[in-house]
Amino acid sequence: METMDKIDSVLIEERPAPRVALLRLHRPKQLNALNLALRHALAEAFTRLEADAEVRVIVLAGSDRAFCAGADLNEYVDASAPEVAARHMGRLWDAIAQCRKPVLAAVRGFALGGGFELAQHADIIVASESARFGQPEVTIGLMPGGGATQRLPQTIGKFRAMQLLLTGETFTAAQALGFGMLSEVQPDDLVEPRAIALATQIAAGPAVATQLIKEAVLAANSQPLAQGLQLERRLFQLLFATDDKTEGIRARLEKRPAVFD
What pLDDT sits at residue 261? Answer: 87
Are the C-beta atoms of residues 137 and 158 closer than 8 Å to each other?
no
Per-residue pLDDT tens digits of the chain, which is 261 residues long:
555 545 458 999 999 999 999 999 999 999 999 999 999 999 999 999 999 999 999 999 999 999 999 999 999 899 999 999 998 989 999 999 999 999 999 999 999 999 999 999 999 999 999 999 999 999 999 999 999 999 999 999 999 999 999 999 999 999 999 999 999 999 999 999 999 999 999 999 999 999 999 999 999 988 999 999 999 999 999 999 999 999 999 999 999 999 998
What pLDDT sits at residue 13? Answer: 97
CATH numbers and ranges of domains, the chain? 2-203 (3.90.226.10), 207-253 (1.10.12)
What pLDDT sits at residue 29? Answer: 95
What pLDDT sits at residue 114? Answer: 97
Task: Count Cβ neighbours within 10 Å for each residue of 154-184 and write b for 16 or more, e otherwise.
Answer: ebbeeeebeebbeebebeebeebeebebbbe
What pLDDT sits at residue 6? Answer: 53
What pLDDT sits at residue 7? Answer: 46
What pLDDT sits at residue 2? Answer: 57
* Separation between Cα atoms, residue 194 and residue 212, nearest integer Å: 24
Cα angle, residue 172 at apex, residues 59 and 45 outer, rounded to 5°? 20
Are the C-beta atoms of residues 51 and 14 closer than 8 Å to each other?
no
Angle between helices 207-219 and 243-253 (to 10 degrees): 110
What pLDDT sits at residue 87? Answer: 87
Q: Which residues are catalytic?
A: 71, 114, 117, 137
